[in-house]
Structure 1
C-alpha cells in the first residue's frame, strides 16, 4: 500500500485551497529539490528529486511549499500505521508512506482482495488520505502493481498472471533499476520487461553481474523476500542547504552545532540514545563526503557535538586531499 503524493495530500488536508492546484513541496530556493509534487504538476513534466528551479520553470503557476517540519507528516503517517496495525497480523513499513502487508492464509477466512480493499477504504475514511495498493503473491509485483494502480486505486494480480502483467511495462518500473542500470539496459536494446523475461538468466548475469540476476528474477515475478515486521525507526537526521556557496568556517561551525543540539534534544525528548554519529557534506558540484563514528550511548550535547565537529573536520580534510 502506498499513500498517493503523501506530502501534498497532507498539505491539502491542512489547506483545502490547494486541492486541484499544481503543488510543489521541497526546498524553496533555486538550490532546493522537489520532495513531492501533485499530479497536476506532473502533467508539466515535474517529478520528485528534480531541481526546484527547473520544476518552477516547467510549471510556473505551481504553488511552492517548503513543507511542514513540525512532525505533521509523521503524525499523519502514524494515523495510517495505527489503522493498519489494528487490521492485519503482519505488516512492514518501508517508508513514511509505504507499507507491505502479508495476508498469507487470510483468504481462507475473508478473501485477501476483499480485506485489502476494505482496509484501503477505512484508511481513506479515517485519515482523509488517498492510498493505492497492488495485491499479488510477492513484494516486487505488489510494488509495481501499486505504481500502476495510482492515483487512488487498486489492482489485484492473480497468481500465475505475474509475467503477463509485467511484460509490457518499462524495465524502469523494476525496483532497483536506476538511471545508470536503465541506460545500460537500453544500450543492450532492452526497454520492456518482456525482453528481460525472454533473455537467458546467464546472459543477464554476464552483462550486469549479481545485479543482473536480481533484475531477471524480478522481471519474471520471482521474489522470495519476506514481509519484515515493522519496528520503530532506528535513526534521526537533519540537513541544511544554502542558497549561496559559503567558505565561512565560523558560520558553518555555528550551524552544525545548532543542528546537533536540535538532534540531541529530539533524542532526549523521545527517551532515546545514540551509539553512532554520521556527518555528510555536499558541495555545489554535488561531490559528497561522509564520515561516521561509533560512540558510547548518549543523548547529551557535550558528548555528541565534539564528535560531529571532528567528523566535519575529517570531511574537509578528505576534500582537500581529493582536490
Structure 2
C-alpha cells in the first residue's frame, strides 16, 4: 500500500561516553580506568562516566558520593566544557562533509539526513561507517550510530551496538524490529511511563501496537498519539539543521543548604543576570518565567508565570523570579535554584498533521 509518508535515510550518531572519553584521550594515564567527570564532594554530581565506571553502576546525574560508594577506585575529573565544545565542532565539521542536514541534539549526538548526500553514496549504512571511521582517525574518539527510515528508529538503533558499533534497521525490518522492542527502549518512554505501561500489560512494541489510539490517549494523554504512530514506524519529523530553541535556563547548586530567603534573593540576582546574558547572546526573549527549586531532600518544585510581553532584561526576570519565590511557603531548606525562560519569540505555532496510512513503501538501499 502506498502512502504519503516520506521514507528518508536518517543516521543518528552518538559519541561513546563523550566527556569521559575526551578526558581519557587527553590524559593517557586514565585509559582503561573507571573515571567520572564531575565532583566527588557532598554536592558533586557525575556529568559522565567511562565505560569502565559504568560496569560498577556509575551513571550520569548520580551523586559523587554514591558513585564512589559503588566504585571505590573511581577517579573524578573536573569537566572542561570548552574542550568538549572544541571537539564537538571538529565532529560537526565531519558531518557537514556529507550533508548540510545536520541536527545537533547536544555536544555528543546529532541526526543526519543522508537521503541525498554530498558524496553520492547510495548506502546510508556505508556513510555511517565512513563517518565513524573518520571520527576515530581524525579526532581519536569512537562513535556509535543508528540508521533507518526516520529519526525515532535511528535514535533507538544507535543504542544497540554501543560502544563503537552501529545498527541499520532496513525499511522491510522496521515493523518486526519495533514489535520485538522492549517498551523501555522506546525513545520518549521514561522510567515512570515504562512502569505504567508494565502495569497495563504493555511490555513490548507488539503489546503497544495492540492498543487502540483511544486507549493510549485515555491513559497517556497527548503522548498516546505519539506512541500509537511510532510503534507503527511513523515519525514524520524532519532533520532540522537550525533547531529552534524552546527554552533557556541557568541554575546553581549551593555548597550549603539555604533556609533564608534573603540569601536566596542574592543567588537569584546572579542567576537572573546569567539568563539575561544568554538571552541577549542568542538574541531571543521569552514570556514564561519558571523558578526551579530543589530542596535538601532532593524533592523538586517549579513555579511559573507567563507575562503578556516578551522579556530579556535582567530586572524584569529577577522581579518575576522574586514574585515566584514568595508565591508560596518553602517546604524545606534549598540546595538548588534555577530560572528558565520559555515561550520564546523564536517559536512558531504549527498545526500537527496526521499520516493517513501506516504502511512503509520500500524504495531505498540502506
* TM-score bin (small chain): 0.7 to 0.9
User: Pairwise mapping of residues 44-59 of structure 1 onto structure 2 (< 5 A)?
Assistant: 44-59=56-71
CA distance in 2, matches of 1:207, 1:249: 40
Tell me whether 208-217 or 155-164 shows the greater mean CA deviation: 208-217
CA distance in 1, matches of 2:104, 2:256: 37
CA distance in 2, matches of 1:32, 1:228: 35
**Matching of residue 130 in structure 1 with residue 142 in structure 2:** yes
Q: 1:121 aligns with which of 133, 145, 148?
A: 133
Task: Quote how far apart the aligned CAs of 1:151 are.
Answer: 0.6
Q: Is the partner of 2:256 in helix, strand or coil?
A: coil
Residues 243-274 of structure 1: per-residue CA shift (max 9 Å, x gap): 33122445444444344555666677x5x545
**Matching of residue 82 in structure 1 with residue 93 in structure 2:** yes
Q: 1:24–1:36: 8 Å Cα contact kept in structure 2? A: yes
Residues 31-65 of structure 1: per-residue CA shift (max 9 Å, x gap): 44332211112211222223333222111211123
CA distance in 2, matches of 1:296, 1:175: 33
Structure 1 residues 99 and 216 mapped into 2: Cα distance closer, same or farther (>3 Å)?
Answer: same
Q: Is the partner of 1:313 in helix, strand or coil?
A: helix
Q: How many residues are paired up? A: 315
Q: 2:292–2:300: 8 Å Cα contact kept in structure 1? A: no
Q: Which runs of 5 or more structure 1 residues have no equivalent in the other structure?
A: none
Partner of 1:36: 48
Q: 1:4–1:131: 8 Å Cα contact kept in structure 2? A: yes
Q: 2:301 aligns with which of 285, 288, 292?
A: 288
**Matching of residue 168 in structure 1 with residue 168 in structure 2:** no
CA distance in 1, matches of 2:171, 2:64: 42
TM-score with structure 2 setting the length: 0.75
Q: Is the partner of 1:155 in helix, strand or coil?
A: strand
TM-score with structure 1 setting the length: 0.84
Residues 53-111 of structure 1: per-residue CA shift (max 9 Å, x gap): 32221112111234124x22222212211221232131111222111111124599412
**Matching of residue 221 in structure 1 with residue 233 in structure 2:** yes
**Matching of residue 318 in structure 1 with residue 327 in structure 2:** yes
CA distance in 1, matches of 2:262, 2:220: 46
**Matching of residue 100 in structure 1 with residue 111 in structure 2:** yes
Q: Is the partner of 2:328 in helix, strand or coil?
A: helix
Q: 1:139–1:225: 8 Å Cα contact kept in structure 2? A: yes
* Structure ranking higher in helix proportion: 1
Q: 1:24–1:41: 8 Å Cα contact kept in structure 2? A: yes
Q: 2:40–2:68: 8 Å Cα contact kept in structure 1? A: no
Tell me whether 166-175 or 230-239 shows the greater mean CA deviation: 230-239
Partner of 1:110: 121
Structure 1 residues 129 and 260 mapped into 2: Cα distance closer, same or farther (>3 Å)?
Answer: farther
Partner of 1:10: 22
CA RMSD of aligned residues (A): 3.0
Partner of 1:19: 31
Structure 1 residues 202 and 108 mapped into 2: Cα distance closer, same or farther (>3 Å)?
Answer: farther
Structure 1 residues 193 and 279 mapped into 2: Cα distance closer, same or farther (>3 Å)?
Answer: same
Structure 1 residues 241 and 312 mapped into 2: Cα distance closer, same or farther (>3 Å)?
Answer: same
CA distance in 1, matches of 2:221, 2:277: 45
CA distance in 2, matches of 1:234, 1:212: 22
